[in-house]
Chains A and B, each alone.
Chain A
Amino acid sequence: MLEFICLIPLFTGIIAMFLPVSIGRVILVVTALLHLQLTVMAWIGKVKPGLPYYFSTSPDGLLVLLVTSFIFLVISIYAVSYLSETEMTSEPIYIGCTLFFLASMSMVALADHLIVLWIAIEATTLMSAPLIFLHRSKSALEATWKYVMICSVGIALALLGCFFVVLSMEIGHVTEAITYSALSKVATQLNPTWLKAGFIFLVIGYGTKMGLAPMHTWLPDAHSEAPSPTSALLSGALLNCAFLGVYRSHQLLFKAGLGDFSSNILIGFGLLSMLVAAVFIFNQSGYKRMLAYSSIENMGIIAFGVGIGGLATYGAMLHLIHHSLIKSSLFLSSGNILLGYGSKLIANTGNMARLFPKTCTAFFAGFAGISGFPPFGIFVSELLIILGAFQKGRTISISIFILALVLIFAGASRLVMKMCFGKYKQGVLVDENMARVLPSYALLLASLILCVWLPDSLYQTILSAIATIGGSTNG
């Protein structure tokens, strides 16, 4: 049963809450393994949904699920080492909520029903909120508060969007199930005005979660204040799930022949996000905030690529995969940096090349990867988006896109160089440790491998995922 993918982490999460920490950690990793296994089985098509009315396997969902599952496994291994270093007070809750978080994210990836998707996305917010404020520091609480409030408000608006879509069904006398798969077959019969209104609310709602500017405001706070494994999960997995909501809605509009409308909105949001990220990455004082803004940028890139369509969509999907891998790796490295220097401020770090050579390698490689340098996959995805945009004749938007990329690169590389090579006088708190460095390497290696060899099934899945919005690899 497909639902097991959600239920297993939910179940183990409840168990872990009541068990001692040492067993909880084992449960975390074992569940992650089990989850990955189930995901792979779902990929092969061995698992059928038990409630086909609510859940189904769509190629885009599977893609997100696989990425989530893989990243979760790596992060859970990291988390074990990280947790033993930080001595968190309510670790069972942390482990339990992490597993709930996985459950809700899996649910997002598998949901087919409009409102089930909504429920799942709202659930991700609620499940991840405890993960952020478990530090109980002032700033962590503030960040959590903003995260929960802003996302709840945003997602509530998405619910209104869902209602509008349903309304458009009623006006169009469509009696199909309220699932994305069913609706996209009859999309042309839906009332276009209400569908568009629905899309606006959906994109604002899920866009809040995804971190599209100007609804991104919670993201830098939450990502920077959360413990690093959580930041990695938020950035590498959660944002993709929110993106899935936007993507599904875009699919619906595309099928209804309103693709231009939704594309333009996505392009607008994408560019705005990139510009906002550029503004804040320059002179950024905290490295985790810098990474958070970089996530906003990359979500913007993905939205932009999807909005452009054609070849760029393929690029956007690749970007999604590689961004998740590389960004979570970066956040994991940032966890090591935080442990090592005891500060989130860039000004209090430096000379990582000498003090933490392994972390520095991972961090700089991740930075190079996220900036679009080969041999990491973002090089390909950004290139494809640029190619696609030019092909579609979107000259002005692509100029802004390129400008933003250069600005962000200029801003970020200055900070990263300061951290890796800059001066640092004081001592270090915690030395780096292979168990906490290897996960970063593993994620980077995955991106590298996918840049050299993309498995055929993955390729086909991406193709079928983008085919629904008219994307293809030949423009």
Chain B
Amino acid sequence: MDTLFASLSVILAGGMIALLFAKQFTLMKAATIITTSAGCLIGLADSLSLLLSNNTEVIEKSWDWLHLFTLAFKVDSITLFFLVPIFTISPLALFYSFHYMGDGAKATRTAVNYFFFAILVASMALVVTAANTITFLLAWELMSLSSFFLVVFDYQVQENRQAGYLYFIFAQGGAMLLFAAFAILYKYTGNFDFSTFHTIPESAKLLVFILAFLGFGSKAGIFPLHIWLPKAHPAAPSHISAIMSGVMIKMGIYGIFRMYLLLDAATPLIGQIVLVTGIVTGILGVVYALGKQDIKQLLAYSSVENIGIILIGMGIGMVGISTKNQAMAFFGFAGALLHVFNHSIFKSLLFMGAGSVLHKAKTKNIDQLGGLMKRMPLTGKTFLAGSVAISGLPPFSGFIGEFLIYYGAFHGISNCRVCLILAVLAIVALAVIGGLAAACFTKVTGLAFLGEPRTENAANAKESGFSMTLIMIFMAITCLVIGVLPEPFIRLAFAGINDISSVSGYDTREFMIIVRHISQTAAFFIGLVLLLTMLRKLLYMKKEIGSGGTWGCGFTQPTVRMQYTGTSYAAEMIGFFRPFILIKNTYSGITKIFPGKTTWESEVEDVSEKNLHLCLVEPLLKGMNKFHWIQHGKIHFYIAYIVVAIITLLFFL
């Protein structure tokens, strides 16, 4: 614990350094990055060693605060597990930022950005170590606030401001729900300590959980509370998107998980709610991802999808616990945790790739990109690896987490009817999500990196600086390593749920054999691919290799604009989900005999955003505007208000 706090101090010191040396741009970046990363690495070493030592004793620390409260911190296996991505991704994102934050004219702002980055990292670490209400909320709010500043880094752009605004509201609204949830808990327990939460009456648990689920869910991005994600992620600088999407939204997951464990509710409803939400979130998330043309927006929706997958895993685990199905619970939870870790890596990788593209090709719209694989080979290849990983395809990391969830879900197929239906839904949903995610990421990779550049900017793109590419290569390799040698990482996830009493002690030896088989299969597959590659080389030896234009099916003058676009690629698939996804087509029409230039636009609108606007925000604003006459400026009536107030109150006498 002391090491952890020491590491947090170093991280914060890094943030302070940024503010102090704001004038010397490069020095400031280097010093901050090194200091903050050093802090992260200390923390990482500490949490990993604690996590893997199987040390069951709980480590606690507390201080008195404001006479009333205690700031209590406690470390158990789940905490440690969540600390790992925090401390892993942060230094990577920081190193990446060295070249990404290259604009010396924004030196002060960059320094502020690093400062809040450090605060964000520290507050996330505090969120997962908090052991009572006050500490948790304190860290939670700090996290929201600091991440808000990170989002509005490029505040000159109106969309970014709007995104920051939306995020701010969701953060605060979610926090208010959490306040309410914790207040209800306090009402029953009379203290702030997490460990007493399970004592509250069973009837209140569901309400508390739902409030907390909505509160945490708004941070995590469950459907329909996800709408800030696709706005905030494109707005933030890419390494910030990476850390937010890779790590920060997982704090919502942590909260849901923690709350579930603390409440220890007997009602099966909780697991069912989580599972169904996960399914809805996952499928709709990926469908929307498919429909978007802005890479970062697409990645944000993909984060929503992955939150869905994680929630499916978690829901499987919860259903498993409520039906006393230990295997289901164990693998559900472990799968969810492992996916948290995996997603943090490949999503960060993808965001960094997107950032690299944005940096060099000056656009995020995939319909204006293309051909980047040749111009930015390292970014392209690492992005490809990330795409395969996020689609959950072996032999990359995404598959492993999903496999665990599948495994848990298959164990849920038993005679319990609700359980069976839920498990089947989960399995089918995972399959559909996997298929659509593959479609989605073939779209990004295929259109942005392959083919021909669609615009000048894309054609002139160059590879990014070494700090960016090195990090991306490292992360891509990590994705592959986790996919091929998953055992230590699965053990990590198992260690993560070690402290959950209802599933601990599950015998994993049998499963470890399967894991070894998976590992072998993956290796074998890679071997087979290599073999076929050699064979192909052999077959092409001494043969004539020609090159020419793409076969245009007889058309002789193809241009790059004739390439298939992302919009067309996705049109049919998203059309399939029509009631849940709004496709707005605008067509200028043909009016004259000799038609002039006509336009046709297609845009995917978020159904929850639209309905939120239509059913909540607009009536609310309208309703509030109806009351504006109160302050009409006439003093006579102001005095009349007082008289009316008196008379009204006298009736209560």
A interface residues (Cβ-Cβ under 8 A, vs B): 145-146, 149-150, 153-154, 157, 193, 196-197, 200-201, 203-204, 208, 214-215, 217-218, 220, 261, 265, 276, 278-280, 282-283, 314, 353, 357, 368, 371-375, 379-380, 382-384, 386-387, 389-391, 393, 398, 402, 405-407, 409-410, 413-414, 417-418, 420-423, 451, 453-454, 456, 459, 473-475
Contacts and interface: CB of A to CB of B under 8 A. Distances in A.
B155 A413 contact: no
Nearest to A150: B638
A225 to B, nearest CB: 13
A386 B180 contact: yes
Given A208-B642, A217-B641, A373-B145, A265 B67 contact: no
Contacts of A421: 152, 155-156, 161, 164
A201 B141 CA distance: 41
Contacts of B650: 197, 200
B653 A391 contact: no
A368 B642 CA distance: 33
Interface stretch (B247-255, B263-271, B417-425, B625-633): B625-633
Contacts of B158: 423
B407 interface: no
A357 B108 contact: yes
A414 B141 contact: no
Contact of A282 (B169, B182, B621): B621
A150 B642 contact: yes
A406 B164 CA distance: 16
Given A146-B638, A214-B644, A473-B68, A280 B169 contact: no
B628 A280 contact: yes
A413 B165 contact: yes
Interface in B618-653: 620-621, 624-625, 627-628, 630-631, 635, 638-639, 641-642, 644-646, 649-650, 652-653
A422 B638 CA distance: 35
A390 B642 contact: no
10 contacts: A208-B642, A214-B641, A215-B641, A217-B638, A383-B134, A383-B179, A406-B172, A417-B164, A420-B155, A422-B161
Interface in B131-172: 134, 137-138, 141-142, 144-145, 152, 155-156, 158, 161, 164-165, 168-169, 172
Nearest to A458: B67
Contacts of B67: 454, 456, 459, 473
Given A204-B646, A379-B141, A402 B638 contact: no
A16 B141 CA distance: 47
A282 B635 contact: no
A53 to B, nearest CB: 30
Contacts of B581: none
Contact of A353 (B68, B155, B625): B155
A153 B179 contact: no
Given A379-B141, A409-B169, 15 more contacts: A149-B639, A200-B646, A204-B645, A214-B641, A278-B624, A279-B628, A357-B108, A387-B186, A390-B180, A391-B186, A405-B176, A417-B152, A421-B156, A421-B164, A459-B66
Contact of B638 (A218, A368, A423, A453): A218
A265 B631 contact: no
A214 B176 contact: no
B137 A383 contact: yes
B522 interface: no
Contact of B169 (A278, A391, A413, A456): A413
B653 A200 contact: yes
A146 B645 contact: no
Interface in B414-455: none
B184 interface: yes
Given A386-B179, A402-B179, A368 B145 contact: yes
A283 B617 CA distance: 13
Contacts of B169: 406, 409-410, 413
Contacts of B625: 283
Contacts of B173: 406, 409
Interface in B249-290: none
A380 B66 contact: yes
Nearest to A473: B68
Contact of B624 (A279, A373, A389): A279
B630 A279 contact: yes
Contacts of A375: 142
B183 interface: yes
A413 B168 contact: yes
A157 B642 contact: yes
Contact of B66 (A197, A353, A386, A454): A454
B187 interface: yes
B595 interface: no
Nearest to A264: B652
Given A391-B187, A413-B168, A265 B649 contact: yes
Contacts of A393: 187
Nearest to A207: B645
Given A215-B645, A422-B161, A150 B639 contact: yes
A280 B137 CA distance: 29
A130 to B, nearest CB: 19
Q: Which of A276, A379, A418 has the most CB of B within 10 A?
A: A379
B29 to A, nearest CB: 20
Given A197-B653, A280-B628, A391-B187, A149 B635 contact: yes
Contacts of B549: none
Contacts of B66: 380, 451, 453-454, 459
Contacts of B152: 417, 421
B190 interface: yes
A334 B628 CA distance: 24
A199 to B, nearest CB: 9
B141 A374 contact: yes
B642 A153 contact: yes
B148 to A, nearest CB: 9
Contacts of A409: 168-169, 172-173
B161 to A, nearest CB: 5
B628 A154 contact: no
Contacts of B155: 353, 420-421
Q: Which of A279, A393, A398, A407 has the most CB of B within 10 A?
A: A279
Nearest to B186: A387
Interface string B466-491: 00000000000000000000000000
A328 to B, nearest CB: 22
B631 A220 contact: yes
